């Protein structure tokens, strides 16, 4: 068998415009699966610094990205600490400027809205310059159109786009979506994946549906 890409490499090919994200992450609250990559001709290894904004682990939220995700240049993930208090008369963050303002302001973190973890499933394609807001869950196999702002959860194997991102279409019928979600090809060992790639990359969806049904029987 010829070479299988190593998920523990930073750059999977000689172009060095895409990096496997998990290998450039240092924050304990950012978790990324094997083979998920970020593409950026300028600084792909700067994903954590440039693309995960307002990330303060002490806030308590996580960014979880599954396996085999494809994240295009300029995509931004906004973490929960970016929020301002909205339950009081003013949203101004007086406390962050120190001095008497900080001393007179109630505890800041306790008043911020908590949206929970941001979770990106497996085999998700996020288009260029998209923004993923705090607490959003994007299902397996979903596609986010370029320049979208995702503020609500996205179902598996659907296409969303716009600002705010809205449902555009289902990628497949309900039967094929169910088969793919049960088969979970992204959990296969790399050697097993090689054998099934011709099927996964074949546009003949009827053939795919029949093959998956047999494998899951």
Measure the CA–CA gap between 217 and 124, rounded to whole angstroms. 26
- Long-range CB contacts for residues 146-151, cutoff 8 Å, separation at least 24: 146/72
191 vs 197: CA distance, rounded Å = 10
Laid out side by side, the sheet with 125-126 consists of 18-20, 37-39, 70-71, 125-126, 143-144, 158-161, 166-170
Catalytic residues: 84
Q: Is 158 helix (H, G, I), strand (E, B) or coil?
A: strand
Backbone φ and ψ for 37, nearest 5 degrees, come out as -125, 155
């Amino acid at each position: 068998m010829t070479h299988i890409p190593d998920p523990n490499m930073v750059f999977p090919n000689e172009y060095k415009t895409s990096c496997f994200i998990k290998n450039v992450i240092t924050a304990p609250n950012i978790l990324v699966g094997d083979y998920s990559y970020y593409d950026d001709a300028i600084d792909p290894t700067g994903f954590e610094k440039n693309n995960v904004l307002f990330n303060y682990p002490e806030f308590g939220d996580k960014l979880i990205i599954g396996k085999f995700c494809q994240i295009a240049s300029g995509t931004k993930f906004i973490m929960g600490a970016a929020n301002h208090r909205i339950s009081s008369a003013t949203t101004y963050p007086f406390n962050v400027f120190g001095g008497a303002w900080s001393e007179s302001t109630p505890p800041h973190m306790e008043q911020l809205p908590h949206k929970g973890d941001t979770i990106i499933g497996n085999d998700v394609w996020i288009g260029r310059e998209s923004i993923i807001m705090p607490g959003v869950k994007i299902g397996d196999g979903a596609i986010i159109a370029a320049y979208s702002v995702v503020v609500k959860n996205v179902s598996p194997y659907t296409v969303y786009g716009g600002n705010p991102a809205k449902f555009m279409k289902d990628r497949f019928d309900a039967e094929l979506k169910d088969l793919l979600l049960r088969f979970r090809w992204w959990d296969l060992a790399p050697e097993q994946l090689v054998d099934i790639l011709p099927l996964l990359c074949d546009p003949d969806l009827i053939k795919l549906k029949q093959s998956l049904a047999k494998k899951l029987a």
